[in-house]
Amino acid sequence: MRNDQSFAGLTDKFAKNIYATAKGKIRLAVLERDLEPLYTGARPLSVLDVGAGIGQFSQNFARHGHNVVHTDIADEMVAAAREQHQAAGLSSYYSYFTAPLQELPDRIGRQQFDVVLCHAVLEWLADPASALQVLQQFLKADGALSLMFYNRNAKLMANMVFGNFDYVEADLQVKKRVRMSPQQPIAPQQLEDWLAQHKLTVMQRTGVRCFHDYLREPLNAERFEQLLRLELKYSQTEPFSELGRYQHWQIRHAAQ
């Protein structure tokens, strides 16, 4: 039986292997570009960050005076986020909850938010489809859901490029799981079907790391800025956007 993934015990490794690398910097840059119209707006927003980890991205909202509810399944992730926010002088904009996504309604109650952030969470859940109902109930009628997920199509493509044909024929399944590698990537069409069931619609689609993960040679540090410019330039242009290792979709309630 598959269980939801927690990164308890891996906080330092998570920070080093994700956000301190080129792939993590590209992820943050794309999210910052996509969501800038929200966090730079004049109206104060209420923000819920689900599976927020060490809380790096939500600081963009806090810096602009928006109040953020930070949640994660792992106590030590929440503690690390508190420390980071305190060091940045932003802790007054935050409240914190340690809980899995499914338990958030009991912990937070019926509160609804202008913005719900859920980045790189669905692919770690045993039942990702059911998470959308939870996220939806926290979203105001005119609210925005920022959903980033691990793209199954891109994972398949990358493994074909690198010649992992047996893995692709095994339907991307392995006997031994790698703890920091998502084992349940989400097919975009499947997610679209789930969203439709909850009367949610995609307003904007962005590919995250459309090129980085297909490079045949290690990225030279001196060329990172050039790669980043190209990632940002083509991240919303088909067919490149569809090949992003992650997809970032901005979602709202469907028009009635």
Residue 239 corresponds to which tokens in the numbers above?
Answer: 């067919």
User: Is 106 annotated to bind ligand?
Assistant: no
Tokens at 161, concatenated = 């490029």
55 assigned binding-site residue: no
Integer Cα distance of 102 and 179 in angstroms:
21
Measure the CA angle with vertex 106, ends 104 and 74; round to 5°: 40
Q: Which residues contact 137 (CB under 8 A, 6 or more apart)?
A: 105, 112
72 is in an annotated binding site: yes
Instruction: Dihedral sign for Cα 99, 131, 59, 31, please.
Output: positive
**Rounded (to 5) percent helix, strand, coil in the chain:** 45, 20, 35
Flag whether 119 is marked binding.
yes
157, 27, 218, 54: CA torsion to nearest 10: -120
Q: Would strands 46-50 and 67-72 be described as parallel, antiparallel, or unpaired?
A: parallel
51 is in an annotated binding site: yes
* Binding-site entries for S-adenosyl-L-methionine: 27, 51-52, 72, 119
* Binding-site entries: 27, 51-52, 72, 119
